[in-house]
Structure 1
Amino acid sequence: MSVAELLRPAHVAQGQLDAYNVQDLDAFCAFYAPDVVVAELNGPVTMRGREEFRAKYAGIFAQNPTNRAELVGRVVIGNRVIDHERVTRTAGGESFDVAAIYTIADGLIVRVDFVK
């Protein structure tokens, strides 16, 4: 895969999803900009910056070692990727659906808006 392909928004979104699913915190965080913003769609900002982001997901991965997100559907429009994901925290446990709207610039996710 070429560098240009790696920088495509869909590849960035898929790369972070793959890293999330194997709980590789370093690889997962590497897809996010140092000043990433995470928010509820049309709601409050819930995280600012990669360090806060890293701390949040370190906790999620530690508490839920079998945590996984299944991609149900994906739409790419320009530099935005909208993923419908089904998240299961524990093996055999209940799942929940979420839409994640990733805004990507220069090959990194700069903003995520979640719809839960």
Structure 2
Amino acid sequence: MDWIGALHFHLEKCCPDGAADVGNIRRTGASHYSASFNHDHDIMKPVQEQVDAYNARDLERFLACYATDVIIENAAGNRLVAGEAQMREMYGPLFANSPSLSAEVRSQFTTGEFTVLEEYCSGMNLPGYPTELHIGVVYRVRAGKIDHVRFLM
């Protein structure tokens, strides 16, 4: 089930006959949705910059988008990375060994201090990880830096 399907399922369970709001997505009827996307420049800027740096495989530019004490977790909340040093250990080899690395943002929305991206990543060459991923990523931005990331895969 994709994230839109999961949202639809959640809204069907909580409000089978009426309207409901979840973030910026509004359920207006049995199976009708409308979305108002908040393009808050302060929240979206570091997220877009890190996507651009990822695609350029520019480690320093990429790391500059993140707080030094950033936490990256999987969908279950298990910590994958804690802090800039571990980010450097993970992304340095990925960028160096993946000449065809690419992240395509297929959809996105921002609400409050969160930006959620649907990404298709390809060209990854990192032991223990697949070469391609279709993933949802939730970024929290505070003080102009990404300080928390959750991978939904």
CA distance in 1, matches of 2:41, 2:70: 17
Provide the residue aligned with 1:82 in structure 2.
116
Match of 1:110 among 147, 150, 153: 147
* TM-score of the pair, normalised by structure 2: 0.67
SS in structure 2 opposite 1:8?
A: helix
Aligned position for 2:71:
37
Gapped regions of structure 2 (runs ≥ 5): 1-39, 125-130
Pairing partner for 2:137 from 89, 96, 100: 100
In the TM superposition, residue 61 of structure 1 has moved relative to its aligned partner by 1.0
Work out which structure has the larger RCO, using CA pairs closer than 8 Å and 6 or more positions apart in sequence: 1
1:64 aligns with 2:98: yes
Q: Is residue 2:83 matched to residue 1:46? A: no
TM-score normalised per structure 1: 0.87
Tell me the CA shift for residue 26 of structure 1: 0.3
Structure 1 residue 41, shift from structure 2 partner: 1.9
Moved over 3 A (4+): none
Task: Read off the aligned partner of 2:111 and give its amino acid letter.
Answer: I
Q: Over the residues paired in the alignment, what is the CA RMSD in angstroms?
A: 1.8
Q: Give secondary structure in 2 for the equivalent of 1:101.
A: strand
Between the aligned partners of 1:14 and 1:95, the Cα distance in structure 2 is 20
% identity of equivalent residues: 28
Assess if the C-alpha contact under 8 Å between 1:7 and 1:107 holds in 2.
no
**How far does residue 56 in structure 1 lie from its aligned partner after superposition?**
0.4
Give, in whole Å, the separation in 2 of the partners of 1:87 and 1:108: 22
Deviation for aligned residue 1:95: 3.4
The Cα shift of 1:36 comes to 0.3
Match of 2:59 among 25, 31, 34: 25
Where 2:147 maps in the other structure, the secondary structure is: strand
> Which of residues 21, 44, 55 in structure 1 aligns to 2:89?
55
Answer with 1 or 2: which has the greater Rg. Answer: 2
Distance in structure 2 (CA, Å) of the matches to 1:97 and 1:89: 12
